[in-house]
Amino acid sequence: MIMANNKFISLISLARKAGKLVLGYDKIKSSGKKFKLIIICSDVSERTIRNAKLYISEDGSAIDLQMSMFEFGKLIGAEKVGVAAVDDDGFAKAIFESMK
């Protein structure tokens, strides 16, 4: 698991404001897309993790975030979010790199 840092927080906030975050497993699933980056919170069920990872593109990745659904939701201005997908290659790469 990975802790969020200031760069991650800034980038995820920008992606949210730009409309490039898909919030929640149901919305990820209904989009019918594959994503370069999926962010998974620490208190998401194994089933949700397994299902969400089906929507990662071949060259994509997942970040297992050391943050609860409520903490992540608060960070991005939502009630609670357990899984989010980044719907932009540039944001996905920058967010993933910020967590190294």
Render pLDDT for 30-86 as a digit per residue (tens, 0 to 9). Answer: 999 999 999 999 999 999 999 999 999 999 999 999 999 999 999 999 999 999 999
CB atoms within 10 A of CB 83: 27
Report residue 88 CA to chain centroid gap.
Answer: 12
- Say what the pLDDT of residue 1 is: 62
Contact status, residue 24 vs residue 82, Cβ threshold 8 Å: yes
CB atoms within 10 A of CB 68: 15
Contact status, residue 44 vs residue 66, Cβ threshold 8 Å: no
Determine the residue type at 80.
K
- For the segment 15-36, the average pLDDT, to the nearest whole number, is 96
Decide if pLDDT at 22 tops 70.
yes
> pTM for the whole thing?
0.92
Residue 1 forms part of a structural domain: no
Contact status, residue 37 vs residue 86, Cβ threshold 8 Å: yes
Decide if pLDDT at 100 tops 90.
no
Report residue 45 CA to chain centroid gap.
Answer: 15
Residue 24 forms part of a structural domain: yes
- Say what the pLDDT of residue 5 is: 83
Residue 13 forms part of a structural domain: yes
**Which pLDDT band holds residue 99 (cuts at 50, 70, 90)?**
confident
Residue 93's CATH number: 3.30.1330.30
SS3 93: helix
Q: Which structural domain, as residue segments, surrounds residue 23?
A: 6-98
How many domains are there within the chain?
Answer: 1
